[in-house]
Amino acid sequence: MRALVLGGTGLISQAVVRQMIALDNEVFIYNRGRTSADLPAVAGHIVAERADVAEYREDLRRLNLDCVIDMVGYTRAEAEALVSACSGIVPQVVYCSTTDIYVKGRGPYPVNESSPRGARPSFNYAVGKVQSEEVLEAAAGSGDFALTIIRPAQTYGGPNHGPIHPLGHRGYNLLRACRGQKVILHGDGSSLWCAAFAPDVAAAFVAAAGNADAFGRDYIVAGSEVVTWRRYWEITCTAFGGPELDCLTIPTEVLRRAFGREADALVENFQYNNVFDCTRAQVDLGFRYTIPLAEGFARVAAEFGERWLREGELDEGSAYAEDYERCVTQWPAVIDQLARC
């Protein structure tokens, strides 16, 4: 099979490329060339801006592809460009969406593929994914190509993708934990969360590519180990060799008032239970959750832990450096004030 991966250098997409090559597929990657990655030998690497739709379509036509896997589509405009480039020349599009397209906090749980979709206008990431799905589904319904949608939840396993902190800079809570400071938990720490190791998630994309049984289907791919946020951080502290968890629980609404836009993701997403049914992906794609959180976080800690725990080094020179600096210089005083309330 000849497949093109849009992206190819991100957390999931690197694993997709590696797994597809291991199965003797011809794999091409298409991106802007702004991110370096230690990838195996691909059949070709196209560096281009897909906003140039005519060139985009010509690149895909020339490759005579069986499948395009879009790992980096976030907006309606990007979905429309994908349709224009693939229509009538690519048999299948596999689109990486997200479980964030489902209405939050309404239940019932677990959420499955038939659960209501929708995003609040303020949740820009989810809005873009919802709109992209709608554009692609309309094109598939018109016969432009066969469409498969895969919706991961939190995925981790790389140098910049470990335990996630719902508030502020992604490494800040972990740094606090390993210094013996109180970890910040929203609410009472009892809302539910799940996460999956990147190679497990990638295997679902690989199984969907060129698979006629997956045409016209959508799949949730998420961790089946559901834990409270308190337990999530207990596992994290153990994996990174920190002291026993010491946490500070603060109501979500209080955090929103204290931190404003820094708390947007918490308000829109993390405060709600995230519990998913992956039965369809298990049956159709052979998806399996094979790496428990304790093992997965221990792997991240063993390979990347020193970078996470040295101040600022994880994101030196990146767009996240300013976020980190703000957390370590401005947040302690605010947190201390909240702790006294």
Among positive and negative, which fits the CA dihedral 35, 37, 14, 270?
A: negative
pLDDT tens digit sequence for 146-187: 999 999 999 999 877 888 888 766 677 887 887 788 888 999
pLDDT of residue 214: 98
Q: Is residue 234 part of a domain?
A: yes
Q: Which domain holds residue 140?
A: 2-155+195-221
Q: How far apart are CA 152 and CA 156, in angstroms?
A: 11
Which regions of 132-254 does DSSP assign to beta strands (E)? 146-152, 154-156, 183-186, 192-193, 195-197, 217-221, 227-228, 247-250
pLDDT of residue 326: 63
pLDDT < 70: residue spans in the chain: 36-37, 168-170, 307-334, 336-341
Q: Select from 205, 221, 237 the last residue of a domain.
A: 221
pLDDT of residue 304: 81
Q: How many CB atoms lie within 10 A of CB 305?
A: 19
pLDDT of residue 308: 63
Q: Is residue 279 part of a domain?
A: no
pTM of the predicted model, to two decimals? 0.92
Q: Is residue 164 part of a domain?
A: yes
Q: Is residue 285 part of a domain?
A: no
pLDDT of residue 312: 46
Report the CATH number at residue 17. Answer: 3.40.50.720
